[in-house]
Amino acid sequence: MEQNEVNPVNKLNRSNSRVWTGLFLVVVGVLLFANKMGVNLPPWLFTWPMLLIGIGLLKGFQSGFRDNSWIILLLVGGLFLWDDIVEDVHLHDYIVPIIVMSVGLLFIFRPKKNWQRRSDWKNFDREGWKNSWSGTATAYSNTDDGEYLEINSVFSGANKRILSKNFKGGEVNCFMGGAELDLTQADIQGTVVIESNVVFGGLKITIPPHWDIKTEVTTVFGGIEDKRPVVATKIDLNKVIVLKGNTVFGGIEIRSY
């Protein structure tokens, strides 16, 4: 396939994403218009937890509900919205333990990401995979020369340096914890995707100065900060990191040296 040729599947996905985004905005506009016209609508429809739920549903429709990132937005929004709908039950006192248990169940029952091809299973870095889980309050730091990445940082910190010269992406999840990902000694071929879900935590990513990075992360009460210095280095359009996922009450920082 030539470089300028557009993948029909990707083109269809982008088209569907635009349609769902348009429908979402139309629905929001209709609700706001009805509210201004004096229609008796529930007040909780215009609260920030409901916005969180709406964004979660939008991301679910855009992805065909193939991943679990939309569940995080629905979970957080639903818990905060509960007290506005049900007056006799106050969940705000139990939000933290409920979120912790829900995230734990999500890790247990979510479908396994097929980052590894079956033909690569023999070369799978089992020790690196074991080290990617951090369930204590002690931060760890290690290097990994595998092509795929998986980090789960829960109530802890993770520091990962990738050495692979054919890095193909992966997944980083931070819940009430943080992670640092160093790609300065790695290399990529074309476009790779890193899915990041940050809830009440933070993620720092350091990339080579000649790489390009595109962010497609949904941020709710969070932010993405690009701290890369403005230099004269020419960007290599054949080396692109696409950052996807969600950031809720957290932040992502992008750096380069």
**What is the arrangement of strands in the sheet containing 157-162, beginning at the earlier edge strand?**
140-144, 157-162, 178-182, 202-207, 251-256, 223-226
Band of pLDDT at residue 157, cut at 50, 70 and 90: confident
Take residue 245 and report the two structure tokens written for it. 């996922």
Band of pLDDT at residue 72, cut at 50, 70 and 90: confident
For residues 167 and 52, the model is more confident at 167
Residue 181's pLDDT is what?
94
Angle (nearest 5°) at CA 56 between 157 and 47: 100
Residue 128's pLDDT is what?
43
| Torsional sign, CA 134, 201, 63, 255 | negative
Assess whether pLDDT exceeds 80 at residue 239.
yes
Band of pLDDT at residue 68, cut at 50, 70 and 90: low
Residue in the block written with tokens 């818990």: 79
Take residue 123 and report the two structure tokens written for it. 């070369």
The pTM of this model reads: 0.57
CA distance 255 to 172: 17
Domain map of the chain by residue range?
8-109, 123-256
Assess whether pLDDT exceeds 90 at residue 252.
yes
CA distance 197 to 19: 24
Band of pLDDT at residue 9, cut at 50, 70 and 90: very low
Q: Please check whether residue 49 is in contact with residue 95, taking contact to mean a CB–CB distance below 8 angstroms.
A: no
Residue 255's pLDDT is what?
92
Q: Please check whether residue 126 is in contact with residue 108, taking contact to mean a CB–CB distance below 8 angstroms.
A: no
Assess whether pLDDT exceeds 50 at residue 134.
no
Q: Which of 133-142, 207-216, 227-236 has the lowest mean pLDDT?
A: 133-142
- Cα Rg of the chain, angstroms: 20
Q: Please check whether residue 177 is in contact with residue 156, taking contact to mean a CB–CB distance below 8 angstroms.
A: yes
Residue range 161-177: mean pLDDT, rounded = 89
